[in-house]
Amino acid sequence: MRAKGLILILLIVAVGLGVLRYRQEDSPSPSEETTKEVVDMKLVSSAFEEGQAIPAQYTCDGDNVSPPLTVSEVSEQAKSLAMIVDDPDAPAGDWVHWLWWNASGATAEIAENATPSGAMVGKNDFGANGYGGPCPPSGTHRYQFKLFALDAALDLPETSGKAGLLSAMEGHILEQVMLTGTYSR
């Protein structure tokens, strides 16, 4: 009787494993299910290269204007773009220099000292709605220009800061890219 019970249990386990294996072979892996066509969105500046020094004219020691930026290979599904420029090396922690959202997903060029047409500009950590250039107290700091392609326009007031923007973007980010420059004083 025990042998029959043991054989029955082994048979049930074998059938169960066979069914599980069959289902795994026929269904796509999680990465196949969630992978969309990969588009490598690009963000570059004619003013500085990735990881290189940002020229003084784009800092508090110069004209304090935003650098020119070129955006390319944005997902066709992008309804809008958003940007956060911050300094992760600031003494008090992350310092926001510029943020905007709701630029057209078709934006290709962002001119020097300009915000993309139609974009809403939020409050930076200088307390202003606009660009505040690199201005580290001392040493070399990194400045991260983070561009986000979104599947929707965002409903945010211009009084919003980085936390509000990040919260509003949650679940809407199609892709993102980062350009990093440095500045020393």
| Residues 77, 137 within the same domain | yes
Mean pLDDT of the chain: 87
pLDDT at residue number 122: 98
In this predicted structure, the answer to whether residue 89 has a pLDDT above a threshold of 50 is yes
| Residues 67, 145 within the same domain | yes
Percent of the chain with pLDDT over 90: 78
| Residues 144, 90 within the same domain | yes
| Residues 90, 163 within the same domain | yes
| Residues 135, 177 within the same domain | yes
| Residues 162, 133 within the same domain | yes
In the chain, the number of structural domains is: 2
pLDDT at residue number 17: 47
* Contacts of residue 39, Cβ cutoff 8 Å, sequence gap at least 6: 73, 74, 75, 76, 175
- pLDDT top residue among 141 and 40: 141
| Residues 89, 153 within the same domain | yes
In this predicted structure, the answer to whether residue 45 has a pLDDT above a threshold of 80 is yes
Contact 117, 76 (CB under 8 A): no
| Residues 22, 51 within the same domain | no
| Residues 116, 144 within the same domain | yes
- 159, 171, 145: which is closest to 82 by C-alpha? 145
Reduce the DSSP state of residue 90 to 3 states and report it: coil
| Residues 133, 156 within the same domain | yes
pLDDT at residue number 3: 59
| Residues 106, 150 within the same domain | yes
Domain CATH for 105? 3.90.280.10
| Residues 11, 100 within the same domain | no
Local confidence band at 30 (pLDDT 50, 70, 90 cut-offs): very low
Give the integer Cα–Cα distance in Å for 100 and 115. Answer: 8
In this predicted structure, the answer to whether residue 19 has a pLDDT above a threshold of 50 is no
Local confidence band at 33 (pLDDT 50, 70, 90 cut-offs): very low
Per mean pLDDT, which range of 5-9, 125-129, 157-161 is the poorest?
A: 5-9
pLDDT at residue number 116: 96
Give the integer Cα–Cα distance in Å for 179 and 135. Answer: 18
pLDDT at residue number 87: 98
Give the integer Cα–Cα distance in Å for 150 and 135. Answer: 30
Domain range spanning residue 27?
2-33
Give the integer Cα–Cα distance in Å for 119 and 102. Answer: 5
- Mean pLDDT of all residues in 51-61: 98
